[in-house]
Amino acid sequence: MEDKDFLYKDQLILEALKEFAEKGFDAASLNQIIKRAGISKGSFYHHFHGKEELFNSVIHRAAQEKIEFINQWLEQHHGGEKPRGFFDYLRLYMAGGIEFAIQHPELSGFLMSVMKNPQMQAKALALAPPYYDQVFSELITEAQQKGQLRDDFDPEFTKKLLNYTLLSLGQLILDSSGDTIDQAQLKKQTDQFIDFLQRGLGAPPIDT
């Protein structure tokens, strides 16, 4: 019975992801989600209290899968070696995010649709997994202390800016690439973006 319940919940989240991505939170139809999932309303309310809780679960699923994918990607491609600086880490993290978008277009597309919808965006940022929040808070604080980031920027604002950028940039680059994925072009565009970001956020060089 537990396995069956898990499958029902998993199917609900999958169908909800599609509905929210297509219509946004307000216009998304709970009845349509339930119908597509092939379950009864009673089964739905066994798992969720309503559309709000279902949306929260979809956000957590998509964000957590992206985080886990990127962490595994970093481990596989770089052996857990710590990057030399903040922007080196960001470059690697973004490369993993682009790979996630290539391999998981539905999840990535949902996250992109969330960032385009102000209501869903506010909900998503409020629900950001603690790990995701903590990693960037620590990186930003350390980088400011080392002089790698400007310390006149509020760390909380910088973190939110990076969260938004990392959620949307991978899909933006893919959208501009058309149907053909050119890995060399993706790397070039990522490097160009990091260079642009570094000039805005990076601490000015110390005169010698």
Question: What is the residue extent of each domain of the chain?
Answer: 59-201
The alpha carbon of 79 is separated from its chain's Cα centroid by a whole number of angstroms, namely: 22
Give the residue from 3, 9, 1 showing the smallest Cα distance to 43: 9
Taking the C-alpha atoms of residue 116 and residue 132, their distance in angstroms, rounded to an integer, is 20
Residue 149 backbone dihedrals phi, psi, to 5 degrees: -125, 150
pLDDT, one tens digit per residue, over 109-141 is 787 777 777 777 777 767 665 656 667 788 888
- Separation of CA 29 from chain center: 24
What length is written for the chain?
A: 208
Tokens of 4: 């069956």
- Cα 15 to Cα 74: distance, rounded to the nearest angstrom: 30
Strands (E), the chain: none
Q: What is the pTM of this model?
A: 0.71
Task: Quote the CA–CA distance of 97 and 2 in Å, as a whole number.
Answer: 33
Q: pLDDT tens across 85-96, in order?
A: 888 888 888 888
DSSP state of 29: -
Read off φ and ψ for residue 59, nearest 5 degrees: -60, -50
CATH H-level, domain 59-201: superfamily: Tetracycline Repressor, domain 2 (1.10.357.10)
What digits encode the pLDDT tens for the residues 49-61?
999 899 888 888 8
Read off the pLDDT of residues 134-153 as tens digits, 9 standing for 90 and up.
677 888 888 888 888 888 88
